[in-house]
Chains A and B, each alone.
Chain A
Amino acid sequence: EAGVAQSPRYKIIEKRQSVAFWCNPISGHATLYWYQQILGQGPKLLIQFQNNGVVDDSQLPKDRFSAERLKGVDSTLKIQPAKLEDSAVYLCASSIAPLPVSTEAFFGQGTRLTVV
């Protein structure tokens, strides 16, 4: 079974530029998460989708971050304009369903973003 695919693996941009990350979850997984992991910290949820609807985006900086999941499959996370503090690894994860709580999430390898 193919895992969660993310691209690109690495990205370096200048501040105030825009960037987009792509995620293809495991086939059949209804729930998709985007996490931000700053160096030395644990992952922090940015947005959670259930199919193509947003379940939780309370921690997404909506003035600069946006995400969509068209057709309930692939997802794109965009930052525009980027700030230095956006430098982090962006992890995409998927799970077959949000419940029960025992349902594990499968993670991609992440995109390492460096803003200079």
Chain B
Amino acid sequence: AQKITQTQPGMFVQEKEAVTLDCTYDTSDPSYGLFWYKQPSSGEMIFLIYQGSYDQQNATEGRYSLNFQKARKSANLVISASQLGDSAMYFCAMREKNTGNQFYFGTGTSLTVIP
């Protein structure tokens, strides 16, 4: 079974609008962390935001926020006030405490910001 599922291969958003990128995960480990990374065309993965399984509040980092719904096993990324520079691939990833601490990645969502 896939540990991370991203069902949106591509998304478009108007500049200055908000957009939500979906991510669902599968784990039985009570201790895990969820990450979002941005991958521009240059190739490197840029860390955006982190949510821990025991965190009571949704994580926020500037224009990025994470809509964490633990019971539904979803961790959607919300980007507010989209900018042209936000156009990139976005990957959701998970680490589990009990499985060697590797990062499991989803297949990614390609976001295009339209001027």
Contacts and interface: CB of A to CB of B under 8 A. Distances in A.
Interface of A: 3, 31, 33, 35, 40-45, 48, 55-56, 89, 91, 93, 98-110, 112
A42 B108 contact: yes
A42 B107 contact: yes
Interface of B: 4, 6, 31-33, 35, 37, 42-47, 50, 52-53, 91, 93, 95-97, 100-103, 105-108
Given A101-B31, A101-B32, A101-B95, A56 B100 contact: yes
Contacts of B42: 109
B69 to A, nearest CB: 19
Nearest to B89: A42
Nearest to B98: A101
Given A101-B95, A110-B43, A45 B31 contact: no
Given A48-B100, A99-B101, A110-B43, A104 B35 contact: yes
B91 A43 contact: yes
B96 to A, nearest CB: 7
A42 B37 CA distance: 11
A40 B39 CA distance: 12
The 4 closest A-B pairs by CB, nearest first: A42-B105, A101-B33, A107-B45, A98-B101
Contacts of A105: 45, 47, 103
A101 B96 CA distance: 7
Contacts of B6: 42
B47 A106 contact: yes
B44 A108 contact: yes
B91 A112 contact: no
A71 B27 CA distance: 35
Contacts of B108: 41-42
B97 A101 contact: yes
Contacts of B4: 42
Contact of A40 (B45, B91, B97, B107): B107
A107 B44 contact: yes
B44 A109 contact: yes
A41 B47 CA distance: 18
